Amino acid sequence: MDLTESPCSRQPFISGRNHVAIHQFAMKLKYFFALSLIVNLIFTIQWVRIGSWKADDPGSSGMREKVETASALSQETPDGDNVEVEVRPSEQVFSWETLESEDYLTYMENLRRIGCPEETIADIIKSDVVKMFEQRRDEMLAGLPELEYWKGLDYLNGYISQIDLKAFRLLEEEKHSVLKTLLGKNYGSSTVPHTQLLEEVIRKKTLGFLPEGKSRAVYEIYDQIQSEMVEVSNENRDDPTIRAGLLSDLLAKRDQQVAALLTPEEKFEADLRMHGSAHALRHTTDAMNATEEEFREIFALQQKINKDHQVEYYSGDTESRDRFHAARQQMMEELKNLLGEDRYRDYTLALDPNFKRFHKIAESSGLERVATVEAYDIQMAAQDAVRQLQSQPGISPESMKEAANQIYAETTAALQDKLGSRGWEQFKNSSFGSDLERLRELNSIQPVEGH
């Protein structure tokens, strides 16, 4: 591999590295020089002699200047003569301006000249190269669209489909190749697996508002608790009550650990993206096309209930659930005031399992939101008409059949108009179509007993 064409040489070498290990090593050498001026003098003369052959190396300007000075000094001094050289700590060659170079190989050679151990050199180079490639990866991540966490259950799958993971994989392979070339046997790592690379990308976009350390820690907490939940579920299959209690305890434990790590504001943002309650809410708001603001407001109210009543999704405590449902009723009133009449109705419709199924049909047909609600109202009106027909006392079978056929004809015409040809075909092949079709059967509707 030609390193002059590698990304390492194309980009300016990063100055001011936090190379703790080499810094400590240099400090020890300085301390040693202070104790022995004679040894210090010998070391300086040796450095001048071996440094002269690098005078033409295309390194940094500071490096070339120091090498040229050393070469000039060696030429002015006859071999064998004693040279008096005054060496002060501030003039030692251990400054980063001397050691650093735009070329990694030259930089590594400079570190070897001052006696830096190979393992330490490998650590320094690996840290620097990894940091450089992480910066490039972050630039690629910044170019990706934001993760729209409020948009339904499939928001993550939809987002993954937009990611050009191949570009991230090629970047990872390039980093591995550069380190392998530079470090050889001292670099034993391999490229990151596909699944791990995807997880890293998703983590960065999901919790990108957090510092890197906190982001990783939150993910680790979620992974650990998830593993424990799977284990608890497997061990308590035959006792739902115990299983529910243990799962609730694990969820509380996870929330406590995350709360101890993040500020309240950070935890709220993390919960919006990762908490089970947020996932359940997406299942609802998917059918109302909630905006980000609406999703956040609804979620905040729900989280307040969970916090005040200590109720989790898996709780098996009947008393706790009763308190939860009472608090939820109060929440619905607050939500109605918050969203307004129209959007509150959209929210209540989204809670209806029938509307969810109807919404999926309409959505796959490209039907607008308003038309979807109107079509659903037509379907519900037909069901109400059937119930009223059943409740009529003394109605004859013939009159029942005639009325049912009229409901069928009016409902069919109205739905075809609202759904369009494509939507109507999907409707007919669904359970809704089957319910409507039964109106045409002779004995499909029977009077309700007692009338």
Q: How far apart are CA 374 and CA 355, in angstroms?
A: 11
The pLDDT of residue 12 is: 33
Does 445 map to a domain?
A: no
Considering the domain architecture, whether residues 254 and 336 belong to the same structural domain is answered as no
% of the chain residues with pLDDT over 90: 24
* Helix axes 37-51 and 104-113, enclosed angle (nearest 10): 150
Q: How far apart are CA 402 and CA 414, in angstroms?
A: 19
Strand spans (E) along 269-412: none
The pLDDT of residue 305 is: 78
Considering the domain architecture, whether residues 324 and 226 belong to the same structural domain is answered as no
Provide the whole-model pTM: 0.63
Q: What is the DSSP letter of 443?
A: T
Does 400 map to a domain?
A: yes
Does 270 map to a domain?
A: no
* Helix axes 165-183 and 194-206, enclosed angle (nearest 10): 110
Considering the domain architecture, whether residues 313 and 401 belong to the same structural domain is answered as no
The pLDDT of residue 102 is: 62
Tokens 């098996």 locate to 316
- What is residue 423's three-state secondary structure? helix
Q: Can you give the residue range of the structural domain that contains 107?
A: 3-116
Considering the domain architecture, whether residues 88 and 13 belong to the same structural domain is answered as yes
Quote the number of domains for the chain: 5
The pLDDT of residue 449 is: 52
Considering the domain architecture, whether residues 102 and 20 belong to the same structural domain is answered as yes
**Number of Cβ atoms within 10 Å of the Cβ of 173:** 12
Does 417 map to a domain?
A: yes
The pLDDT of residue 364 is: 84
Does 266 map to a domain?
A: no
Structure tokens at 232: 């608890």
Number of H helices, E strands in the chain: 21, 0
The pLDDT of residue 317 is: 66
Q: What is the mean pLDDT of the chain?
A: 74
Considering the domain architecture, whether residues 304 and 393 belong to the same structural domain is answered as no
Does 447 map to a domain?
A: no
- What is residue 421's three-state secondary structure? helix
Contact 70, 27 (CB under 8 A): no
Contact 11, 70 (CB under 8 A): no
Q: What is the mean pLDDT of each run of 10 residues along the chain (451 residues)?
A: 34 37 42 38 36 38 33 38 38 49 79 88 88 88 85 73 79 87 76 75 89 94 94 90 89 94 96 91 89 94 75 59 80 92 93 88 85 91 87 84 89 91 88 80 51 45
- What is residue 137's three-state secondary structure? helix
Give the number of C-alpha atoms closer than 13 A to the C-alpha of residue 67, restricted to the C-beta side.
Answer: 21
